[in-house]
Structure 1
Amino acid sequence: MQHFEFDLSLYQSRRAALQAALPANGLLVLVGADEMYRNADVDHPFRQTSDFLYLSGFEEPDAALILTAESSLLLCRPKDETMETWTGFRWGPDAAAEAFGFDHAACSDDLAEVLAETASDADAIGYAFNDERAAGLVQELQAELSKRARQGVVPAAQHFDANPLIHEARLIKSADELAMMRRAGEISARAHRRAMVVASAGVAEYRLQAEIEFEHRVAGSKREAYQAIVAGGDHANTLHYVANDQAIADGELVLIDAGCELNYYAADITRTFPVNGVFSPAQRRVYQIVLDAQLAALEQVRAGRPFNAYHDAAVRVLVAGMVELGLLQGDIDELIEGGDYRRYYMHRTGHWLGMDVHDVGRYADNGEPRALRPGMVLTVEPGLYIRADDKDAPAELRGIGIRIEDDVAVTDGAPDILTAAVPKSIDGIEALMASGSWA
């Protein structure tokens, strides 16, 4: 199996940048993920939280880190040969500190005590405000420090949210991160090509899901970035359809929204194609409108443009298409202003992408859409959704649901499409499906 990893110095440099951004005499505590019990001696597969992994590179459960301007401290499980016989290797504090570049390490069982000692003279304490475990830990810390008033200990008066500091750093990808996301996109694109070639009338949705996930695993991806959507026919008009348990009939389209995760970085691709390999005239009309909307949106993914510009560009093309198809009537500007189009296009055209498929980072500054910057990665995914039970739509269009999605890096010039290796033109899709090869 191929392995895709970063040099550990990358995590050290991230911690150093965060330490430099801490308030004066401030301390930050971050708690990693716990193992999640499923049933009867079975846990759910473990995945470290993205923020913790971003700063540490450390993948074991029950871990925490404490940062001050001067030092970094990792807390993790102790070495335990008996448990390692059952569940595998553990680093233990001493080896982990050396291997992952922390100044100090301790056993996670001692977290409360270590945090109290470290925070006894801190003026500000930071933690993720949306993490109930971290909030509880800090509340207990404040209570403990209050007991030490006679020793001259004063609990920190300032609490700050760690999320903005970490998430804004995560939003701008380094060259190493972009290379990882490009590789995740390439693996996922090959998987989508495989599904297109394997598809035929009557194939089960779960069969295509299995083909995609197999391709991900043999390429070195440990897990999916999210639960795959494989939606045949009218199922495509349920945006987050994940049952994936029906056969796809001859003449139907299938919408596949799937991507792998590679070393904690997500790909997110959607393609829609005819299960029998040939678009019908009605399907071609709707599909081309969505593709034109995506191409118009991509032109707006440029440094300095506001985040909402590419959504607005897609909406204008889609609304014009809805009028052309007979789904809406009226002036395009008035239809956009009134929001009438949301009956057939009800979501935004994209989102940040990174370690999480819906990644972190602000979308606006002071109430205004923020400007795009090189290093940001986002999805571009317009769609048209015409439900089978929509009696107002032309009969030949009912049951057609189409979305086209690519992962795009913002550069100093033209947008960099990380997932371009899977076709999206009508001719390109039909040619690939007829070729019998996804290589």
Structure 2
Amino acid sequence: MFDTLIYQQRRARLLAQITEGLIFLPGNQLSCMNYPANTYHFRQDSNFLYYAGLDVPGMAVILDADTGKSYLFGRELSMEDIVWEGNQPSLPEHAARAGLDEALPVAQLAPMLGKAMQTGRSLHYCPVYRPENLIWFQELLGIPLKAVNRRTSTALIRAIVAQRSVKQPEEIPELHKALNTTRQMHLAVMQQARAGMTEARLAGTAHGIAVGEGGELAYPIILTVNGQTLHNHYHGNTLRS
């Protein structure tokens, strides 16, 4: 995370553009592979990271544009969670790290959103892309699944795009780090490629560098002898001279 003040300043700039209603910034949920406790690698929503910095599943932020108050919603860990994952920061501690005014149980999110909608207040949110979050929105807002992305806020989308398109000084080193890692990945694959090797071996090399540098892949690796196919994620071919 960056310094707490950075997230507070980012949210203040957003509230200067959206001056009424509630801004709803949902984080992502865990997504299961083949049973509930076995999940895919967690990737937090980028807007949530930008405005709150918390790389934790199952959270959401509400910004009240009329009062200027900010809320973090989430759940406290159960004893079973602590047994499996160890001690983790509490919800109020997460809120303090992000500079958010109040931490509330996620069960209080639906009532807050419902009250706002019943009283005619605007609800601003961006398009929802995760299936888990689409279902969550349907439950929170009480609207059909297909209606969720028809009610997104153009004003919020434009405000976020305008803000995130201009990089702050603390973001530049992170961009350089990502570019340097990408360079290492490409050079390693070019240097190691030999006839008789499989695409999978080289893809594993590239992925290993990304993880070894403390990151993850932005998208599945496209490493193929069939370069004429743009989105080719199959790595079973063998290189030939």
Query: Could you state the TM-score of these two structures normalised by the residue count of structure 1?
Result: 0.48
Q: Which residue of 2 aligns with 1:245?
A: 236
| Aligned with 1:109 (options 107, 110, 113) | 107
Superposition pairs for residues 124-163 of structure 1, below 5 Å?
A: 124-130=122-128, 132-133=134-135, 136=138, 139-140=141-142, 160-161=153-154, 162-163=156-157
Are 2:58 and 1:62 equivalent residues in the alignment?
yes
Looking at structure 2, the residues matched to 72 and 137 of structure 1 have their Cα atoms a distance apart, in angstroms, of 22
Alpha-carbon distance in 2 for matches of 1:133, 1:236 = 37
Counterpart Cα distance in 2 of 1:219 and 1:61: 22
Cα pair 2:59 2:106 within 8 Å, conserved: yes
Change (3 A) 1:117 1:139: closer
- Residues 78-113 of structure 1 show CA distances to partners (whole Å, capped at 9, x for unaligned) of 132321211344433222221221011101122112
Does the 8 A contact of 1:129 with 1:135 survive in 2?
A: no
Report how many residues are paired.
226
User: Which structure has the larger Rg?
Assistant: 1
What are the superposed Cα offsets for residues 235-256 of structure 1, whole Å, 9 maximum, x if unpaired?
1100111101111101xxxxxx
Aligned counterparts of 2:58 and 2:167: Cα–Cα separation in 1: 27
For the pair 1:82 / 2:73, whether they are aligned, the reply is no
Within 2, Cα distance between the matches of 1:137 and 1:167? 27
Question: In 1, distance between residues paired with 2:47 and 2:22?
Answer: 16
Q: Which residue of 1 aligns with 2:17?
A: 21
Match of 2:147 in 1: none
CA distance in 1, matches of 2:219, 2:48: 19
Whole-angstrom distance in 2 between the partners of 1:38 and 1:217 = 20
Report what 1:388 is aligned to. Answer: none
SS in 1 for 2:92: helix
Describe the SS at the equivalent of 1:245: coil
Distance 2:174 2:152 in 1: 35
Shift of 1:28: 1.0
Counterpart amino acid of residue 211 in structure 1: T
Q: Indicate if the aligned counterparts of 1:31 and 1:63 stay in contact, CA closer than 8 A.
A: yes
The change in CA–CA distance for 1:138 and 1:160 in structure 2 (over 3 A counts) is farther
Deviant stretches of 4+, over 6 Å: none
Unaligned ranges ≥5, structure 1: 142-157, 251-439
Give the deviation of 1:208 after TM superposition. 1.0
Separation in 2 of the partners of 1:97 and 1:186? 32
Q: Are the equivalent residues in 2 in contact too, given 1:30–1:134 (CA < 8 A)?
A: no
The aligned counterpart of 1:71 is 69
| Structure with higher strand content | 1
Question: Quick one: distance in 2 between partners of 1:49 and 1:230?
Answer: 26
Is 1:31 aligned with 2:26? yes
What one-letter code is carried by the residue in structure 2 that aligns with 1:140? G
Give the structure with the higher percent helix: 2
Return the match for 2:93 from 88, 92, 95. 95
Distance across 1 between alignment mates of 2:17 and 2:87: 34
Cα root mean square deviation, aligned:
2.4
Gaps of 5+ in 2: 144-150
Partner Cα distance (1:22, 1:130) in 2: 19
CA distance in 1, matches of 2:121, 2:152: 9
What is the TM-score with the length of structure 2 in the denominator?
Answer: 0.83
Residues 79 and 91 in structure 1, CA contact (< 8 A), matched pair in contact too: no
CA–CA separation in structure 1 for the residues paired with 2:12 and 2:136: 21
Structure 1 residues 16 and 137, CA gap change in structure 2 (3 angstroms): farther
CA contact (8 A) 1:27 1:122 kept: no
Q: Using the alignment, how far apart are the partners of 2:127 and 2:197 within structure 1?
A: 46
Choose from 1, 5, 11 the match for 1:9: 5
Q: Secondary structure at the match of 1:12?
A: helix
Q: Distance in 1 between matches of 2:115 and 2:100?
A: 18
In the TM superposition, what are the counterparts of 1:403-414 in structure 2 within 5 Å?
none
Query: Whole-Å Cα distance in 2 between the matches of residues 183 and 99 of structure 1?
Result: 24
